[in-house]
Each structure stands twice: as C-alpha cells, then as structure tokens.
Amino acid sequence: MQQSLQVCLLESFTNNEAKRVLALYVKHVKNCIENNSPETVRYKIPYDLTLSLTFSETEDTNVRGVYNDGLNEIKITTVIGSDFSKRQLNDLFRIAQTSIVHELEHKAQRGTFGDRLAKDRAALSPKLQSTNANPTYFFKPTEIEAFVFSLHKRAQKEKRSFSDVLNEFIVSLEKSKKIDSLNAKRLLNKMIAYAKLRYKT
Ligand SMILES: [Zn+2]
C-alpha cells in the first residue's frame, strides 16, 4: 500500500514535469543548432532547470543529466559532435527524454522518500560521487529506481517490451565497460525485482 502510493505520486509528478522540460529542451536545442551557437539557458519552474549545449570536435554527441538536491537543480548538458546531422535530432530527443525522466525521478525521490538521496550519497566517497564509471553507482537504490522508471517510460513510448529496453541498457553498460558481466547480471536481476514490485508485472 505504502509502496503503491509513493509510486502514484512519483509517476504523476514526473509525467507532467517531463512534458514541460522536454518541450523547453527541444526548443533550446533547435535554437542552438539553427543559429549554430552554443548556449546555456536557465529556468525557475520553480526548481532550477539549466540546459546547456556545446559543439565539440572531439567528443561524440551525448546528453548528460544531473540532479543536485542541495540546490534543487536539474542540469541537462548536451554535446553535439562534429558528425551530428539534423536527421539524428529525434534520436537525440529520445535520449534526452530518458535522461530528463531519470533526473525528475531523483527530484521526486527527494520529496517522497525524504533523505533517501542523502543516505545514498553518504555511503559513497566524494570520488565515487563524481563518476558514473564505478559499478557501485548503478546499485544505489535511488539509481535503480530512476533507471527502471526512465527505461519503463522509454519502452511505453517506443511500444517495445520493457525487458527488451532493459536488456539493451545492460548490454550498453557492459559494452562501454562501465560494468563487468558478473555485475551486469546482478544489476539486471535487481532491476527486474524492483520493476516487479513497482509495476506488478
Ligand atoms: Zn541517477
């Protein structure tokens, strides 16, 4: 009962916010690309939302999200690599949406789970906090929630099965060597167990 109430709160909050943030994101990226000018924009809605875009000759196109609970701020950073073409815009928006949903879940965790984020953070050294490359990061309860939630949303949106999207995610972590195959299996099992609890599937 407790669990499902929390889940309802998280989902309605995130669904509404995700639409608003994605609309701002799309507008921002299109502006930057059309004017060929990197830009950072800030909104107070009422939390702080920072969207920043840069062009890079050396990096591949990527989107990164951060939720800073101390500042009540969501930051979405986009790098556009030199190989990027406008035909890839929809793929970029798709990746950004998953990232936006993930960070909004962290924001919702702050409100509904109280100090859950703070506890996660305290358990990690300052060095680990700043990197996503350590497997410990993926096993944090708040990360499992946020990844499962954003991947579940992606599956719904793309009309694919959740297990397909989840497997794709785990394989990408393994491929990019963010996690070894033993931890990949462990993480997959943990995510499936959490998804069963959350979505009763
Ligand atoms: Zn996260």
What's the CA-to-centroid distance between 102 and ligand 1, angstroms?
6
What token pair was written down for 52? 């920043």
pLDDT in tens, 159-185: 999 999 999 999 999 998 889 999 999
- Angle of helix 162-175 relative to helix 141-158, nearest 10 degrees, comes to 120
What's the CA-to-centroid distance between 65 and ligand 1, angstroms?
8
Segment holding 183, helix H or strand E: helix 181-199
Which residue pairs, CB below 8 angstroms and at least 24 apart, start in 169-174? 173/138
pLDDT bracket for residue 9 (50, 70, 90)? low
Which has the higher per-residue pLDDT, 28 or 131? 28
What's the CA-to-centroid distance between 9 and ligand 1, angstroms?
18
pLDDT bracket for residue 69 (50, 70, 90)? confident
What's the CA-to-centroid distance between 147 and ligand 1, angstroms?
7
Given this model, what pLDDT does residue 182 score? 93
Given this model, what pLDDT does residue 72 score? 86
Given this model, what pLDDT does residue 163 score? 95
Nearest-angstrom CA–CA distance, 142 and 43: 25
What's the CA-to-centroid distance between 35 and ligand 1, angstroms?
31
What's the CA-to-centroid distance between 104 and ligand 1, angstroms?
9
Given this model, what pLDDT does residue 125 score? 41
Beta strands, E only, 26-92: 39-44, 48-56, 62-68, 73-81
Which has the higher per-residue pLDDT, 2 or 74? 74
